[in-house]
Each structure stands twice: as structure tokens, then as C-alpha cells.
Amino acid sequence: MQTSISDKTGDGVKIGLECHVQLTKLKTKLFCGCSADYRDREPNTSVCPVCLGLPGTLPVPNRKAFDFAMMISKALNCDIARLSSFYRKNYTYVDLPKNYQISQYEAADGSRTLARNGYLTLKVNGENKRVGIWRIQLEEDPGRNVFKGSITTSPETLVDYNRSGVALCEIVTAPDINSPREARLFAQKLRSIVEHLGVTDGGLQGSMRFDANISVGGGKSVEIKNITSFKAVQKALSFEISRQKSLRNRGAQVNRETRHYDELRKITVSLRTKETEEDYRYFRDPDLMPIRIGEDAIDAIAGEMQELPDARAERFATQYGLPEYDSGVLTSSKVLADFFEECVELHENPKKVANWLMTELLGYLNEKGLEIEDLKTTPGHIAALLKLIDDKTISGKIAKRVMREMLETGARPDEIVRARGLTKIADREELAGVVESVFEEFPDSVSDAVKDPKAANYLVGQVMRKTMGRADPEKTNKLVRERLEQVGAR
């Protein structure tokens, strides 16, 4: 007998994300004085007995890490626990020198992680959608495994402990996300928030990493570990939905397991059957006292917080008169929002700036698969380009070509215009010459246009073509019509 899947639970895709945000703006690691800036160093040079897990050492918590994690908790509308504690999450892996990770845990004895019960609001198809936040916790990053090529095919693993002990803020969502695209939107918005808070630089490789739990149609949940880019979040989840659906269509079981997303091969591969909580043998870390956070500390943090993306979007709408959609796009990344505001300081038309950034600049980045951090051009150059249009030195059409070259090379717009001879032709004599040659070339169109003035547009178009868009449109129009009157009078 065939059973149909009901609409409500049905094909429903449920995704929960565990987001690890590295607090890259901290100078030191979470429990020792080693530099947290591990990226540009020789492997295994930013290490000490504490973060190497040598016996007899004691961890000392980094106060600033709590401030940063509290800011994230506030920004995500969470309740901050007055008392939270550190636990040992035990597992054995080469990147973990102590064989346990210091983390936080919600235990039966009432122990709490730093914060819980919050939400983040996403704009999905023009509607506000709330994604629940289950909990937020501080924990330490393991070391970094270095593979040759892909993790699944590398013949050997090298380990760099410079990252061992760097502070992570883990954010766990409810399974409220219903599509790979929504998951990507969530990740992007979270990045914009933590960048606005000034606690991390999301542009750094590996500074935001995601684990995703996904179930399709009420089936078993599969975990995909360690996804490191927004694009990969969407791709890994899309792949996983197809994989689970095709298993179900064949009548096969979806196993509860942990899979890895292989970015090179663009597939997920099984790593192991999923651990349960018990496998980690959590217990309270006897080296660390419980963390007590007073009301005054929470108030102090709230006072230090910078403007967040939603508030900034609202300000963009009122201060610059932008549509809600534009404000949302421009504040989707702190770097982009800052870039926009720097342009607006130099050019008085915010809507015009917004249009050029959203269509030409974002279009270019999208097409090339680049991030806003990769931009070669500057707000000064963008403002100068718009000024060239305002002054009618170049047409809008030519400006698009110039913008393209600015984005590709970083050159100044006036230099490009000069080097390529793109200045608008406004000289009457010069234009009249081009109009004359077009009239000679298209006698049939000329006689059409004498009878029907609307057909004159074709001749104007030919002048634009001959001058590669450089002819001043108003002057060309006027000249073509004058010349048509002369021809008609004959």
C-alpha cells in the first residue's frame, strides 16, 4: 500500500547549524598567553605548556573572551547565565593534545553554558523569519590538521598546534532552517553581526566554521562537519538533500552518521556513525571555577556594543532614503556597509551610489566568485566615476565599461577614460560629421524617418554605435532631427 507523506511533516527539510566563530580580535588564546594570531606563523611556534596540554599546567580564562561572547549572546537575544561552568569534552584525535576540549555544557545538575534561548531574524522572500538559538558557549579550538589536497585522499596528516586553545564562540540553532539557501542567509547574517560587534574578522580563512544537522521528511538526522564557507554551506546541504532523497526513493535507510563535506569533490562522505553525548564523557573541569556574571557586567557590555546590521539597515532607510531591500543588501556585510557610507560621504546621491554598488559591483564579485574583501577599487574611485557621469563627461553606458576596468585593475576612472579615449563627444562639428555618414549609409531608414519621426531612433542608435556609445545622446538626438527636417524640406 502506498502511503502519501503529509504536507506538514512531509518533505520538510529541517536544518540546525552549529556555528563556530573564532574570536580573532582577541590578542591571546582562551586559557594561556600565547598569541591568538596563528595564521602567518611557522607551524608550532605559538604554543606553550598550557595549550600543548602538558601535565601540571593550569588554564587561566581570558576575561575579554567573555566580554566578546556576551556581546554575541546579547546581539542574538539570548539570556546570559548568571552562573556557567567549563566541562571537559573527551575524545582522542591528533589535533587535541590534552585528549579533551575545554567547553561548556548543559548538565543534569543545572550547569549552564554562557547563554541560551535567543533568536536571529532573517529576511526570507521579503518576510521576517526567526531562527531560534538554543545555546551559546565558549570553548577552545583544537590544533589544525594539514592535508595534502583533499582530506579524504591525503596520504598523510600534518598537525600545527598554533591554533590549539584559540577562543571559539559556539552558537547552536534550533532546527528552524528549512532550505540550504536559508542556511546560507543565516551564516551571512551571523557574520555581519559578529563583524559589526568587532569580535572577529569573518574574512579570515577558517574564522567561521559550520556543522549542519539535516533531516529530510522526518527521517534520521545526519551531521555534516566543518564546512568553512557560505557557498559550501549551501552546496553541502543541497548535495545532502539529494542524497537522502535518492536513498529514500530506493527504499534504503538514511543512517544517523557524521559526514564530511569534501570541497574539492563537492560531495559529502561518511566519516563515522555519529557519537552520542555519552561518548564524550563530559565532566566538570576541576581546574576551572564556575563563571559568575553579574547584572552590572551585562549592562556594561550592552553599553559597549556597536550598531548592529538591522539597526544600521533602518538608519540607511531613514538617513539616506533607501528602499528596505537596498538597506538590507548593503548591511549584509560590514565591509560593504562601510564601503557604501564612505562613498556617500564623497558623493551626494545615496540612491545612485546604492544602485551602482548593488548592480555593477556586487554583480562583478558574484560573477568572479570574489568576496568584498578582494575589492581592488576604493570609495574615492567610485565617487569619482559617478562625478564623471554627473558632469556628462561620460555616458552611463560608458561608465559601466569603466567600472568594470576599475574593478579588474584598481585604476582611477579618469585615467581609464583618458587612456581609452572614452570622453563623451559633445562637439557639434564632430557629431554632425558622424550623423552625415550615418545618413549616407542608411538612406532607406532616412526616408522612413522623414515619414515617421519615431523611426529616427534607429539613426540615433547608429550614431551611438559608430562612436561606441561616446556620442552625447541629447545633442545627437537634436542633430538627427534637424538633419531630417532639412532632408524632408527638399
Catalog residues that contact Zn ion under the rule CB under 5 A.
32, 34, 48, 50-51
Choice between 170 and 360, CB closer to Mn ion = 170
Note whether 170 binds Mn ion by CB under 5 A. yes
Select from 169-177, 200-208, 242-250, 368-376 the region that touches Mn ion (CB under 5 A): 169-177
Site for Mn ion in 241-260 (CB under 5 A): none
Note whether 223 binds Mn ion by CB under 5 A. no
Choice between 29 and 184, CB closer to Zn ion = 29
Whether 78 contacts 267, CB under 8 Å: no
Which entry of Zn ion, Mn ion, none binds 26, CB below 5 to 8 A by partner kind? none
Choice between 48 and 426, CB closer to Zn ion = 48
Q: How far is the CB of 49 from Zn ion (least distance, A)?
A: 7
Q: How far is the CB of 388 from Zn ion (least distance, A)?
A: 54
Q: How far is the CB of 146 from Mn ion (least distance, A)?
A: 20
Choice between 50 and 322, CB closer to Zn ion = 50
Residue 478 identity? K
Cell numbers describing residue 258: 557524521
Which entry of Mn ion, Zn ion, none binds 170, CB below 5 to 8 A by partner kind? Mn ion
Which entry of Zn ion, Mn ion, none binds 32, CB below 5 to 8 A by partner kind? Zn ion
Note whether 240 binds Mn ion by CB under 5 A. no
Which entry of Zn ion, Mn ion, none binds 15, CB below 5 to 8 A by partner kind? none
Which residue has 522623414 as its cell numbers?
450
Select from 34-42, 117-125, 165-173, 464-472 the region that touches Mn ion (CB under 5 A): 165-173
Q: How far is the CB of 84 from Zn ion (least distance, A)?
A: 23
Select from 77-85, 167-175, 389-397, 402-410 the region that touches Mn ion (CB under 5 A): 167-175
Q: Is 110 left (phi over 0), alpha (psi -120 to 50) or beta?
A: left
Choice between 102 and 383, CB closer to Mn ion = 102
Give CA–CA dist 131/116, Å, rounded.
Answer: 13
Q: How far is the CB of 48 from Zn ion (least distance, A)?
A: 3
Q: How far is the CB of 103 from Mn ion (least distance, A)?
A: 6
Choice between 32 and 460, CB closer to Zn ion = 32
Q: How far is the CB of 200 from Zn ion (least distance, A)?
A: 20
